[in-house]
Amino acid sequence: MRPLSRCGLVVQAWANRGIARLDDDQLIPFHFPRRLIRPLPGDHVHLNTQDALIEVLPRRNEFGRGDERGRFRAAAANLDRAVIVIAPEPAPSPDLVHRYLAAALLHEIEPVIVINKIDRPLPPQAPFSELEDLEALGYRVIRTRCKPEPMITELKAVTGSGTSLLAGQSGVGKTSLLNALVPDLDERTSALSTVTGKGTHTTTTATVYALPGGACIVDTPGVWEYGLWAMPPQTLQRGFPEFAEHAARCRFRDCRHDSEPGCGVRAAAESGAIPASRHAAWLRLLAEQRRWA
């Protein structure tokens, strides 16, 4: 006799349907009514005997991006870390990493920067020229490659516990890294395709894969550019935690660390107490926010 409800982990969700993985690794398609919160990959859910959603369990956090109207759009939930992949080719915009760092830190998700394709020379411009500054602030930077032979030992150790989200531009090698981390990726992708009826070659929605040892990794669609969402400057500052100590010395409580007199953050950047590159990135992201005002 089937139980009245079953627990599952959402591995994909789109429109009003999703796929959940049960404890026995069985993949179950389910639908969800509009009256309930929309489940995200990484959510833990209860399904009834008709494989309909009963409940989405409380989330620890969400990760997402801003849409064209400055609204936050969540893509995955219950994450321990966000693995931000960049590569020499295609080279990212100067602020891509700073946007990803802010998005992760705002939701209390550990950011990890991965420089892939290190067999190729790194461009001399940002963000590659700022890696030492970021490492000095305590942000973890991992260097990987998949060719001519894989070099992912450190990345494998980092993603070996909890739930990691893999994010980055199209073409930076996320799929190659995922193949190296998930030994049976083709089989798992084929199994999902059988359940969903979708193709297997293009990532169009976030997907959760189990890793050896019980950890999980969430693969996300590649993007050309990543944008934040509309938020007050005080909220954006949480994405720059190294500012906090110096912001407490600002003359004005609502200081935007731009041109205000007596700004503790600007003084710290000028003295080298915080990297000037981070303050410059702050000013650029602050300017981006003005378009939503």
Give 63's contacts (C-beta < 8 A, 6+ positions apart).
74, 75, 76, 77, 79, 82, 103, 104, 107, 109, 165, 167
Higher pLDDT, 28 or 49: 28
The better pLDDT of the pair 188, 74 is held by 74
Nearest to 59 by CA among 163, 185, 144: 163
Q: CA–CA separation, 106 vs 235, rounded Å?
A: 8
184-202 pLDDT tens trace? 787 777 778 778 765 544 4
C-alpha to C-alpha distance for 84 and 77, rounded to whole angstroms: 16
pLDDT at 203: 53
Residue 90: cis peptide before it, omega within 30 degrees of 0: yes
Instruction: Report the distance separating Cα 230 and Cα 65, nearest Å.
Output: 10
Residue 51 — pLDDT band, cuts 50, 70, 90? confident
The pLDDT of 78-105, averaged and rounded, is: 96
The residue count of the chain comes to 293
Look at residue 202 in the predicted model and tell me its pLDDT. 46
181: helix, coil or strand? helix
- Identify the pLDDT of residue 50: 86
Would you state the pLDDT for residue 93?
93
As a whole number, mean pLDDT of residues 136-145 equals 96
How far, in Å, CA of 18 to CA of 242, rounded?
39
Average pLDDT over residues 203-226: 88
Q: Give the pLDDT confidence score for residue 148 in this predicted structure.
A: 85
pLDDT surpassing 90 at residue 2: no
* Other CB atoms within 10 A of residue 30 CB: 22
- Which tops the pLDDT comparison, 196 or 177? 177
Q: Which residues contact 65 (CB under 8 A, 6 or more apart)?
A: 72, 73, 75, 103, 223, 226, 227, 228, 229
Given a cut of 80, is residue 6 above it in pLDDT?
yes
Averaged pLDDT, 52-80: 95
- Compute the average pLDDT of residues 129-158: 94
Say how far apart CA 114 and CA 143 lie, in whole Å.
Answer: 6
The answer to whether 211 touches 80, Cβ cutoff 8 Å, is no
Percent of the chain with pLDDT over 90: 77
Q: Which two tokens stand for residue 58?
A: 């409380």
Report d(CA 225, CA 189) in Å as an integer: 26
**What's the pLDDT at 197?**
64
Supply the pLDDT for residue 172. Answer: 94
Nearest CA to 54 among 78, 26, 35, 76? 35
Structural domains for the chain: 5-56 (2.40.50.140), 62-219 (3.40.50.300), 233-292 (1.10.40.50)
Contact at 8 Å (CB) between 70 and 88?
A: no
Angle subtended at Cα 170 by Cα 168 and Cα 172, rounded to the nearest 5 degrees:
70
Q: Is the pLDDT of residue 125 over 60?
A: yes
Q: Copy the structure tokens of residue 179.
A: 């193949």
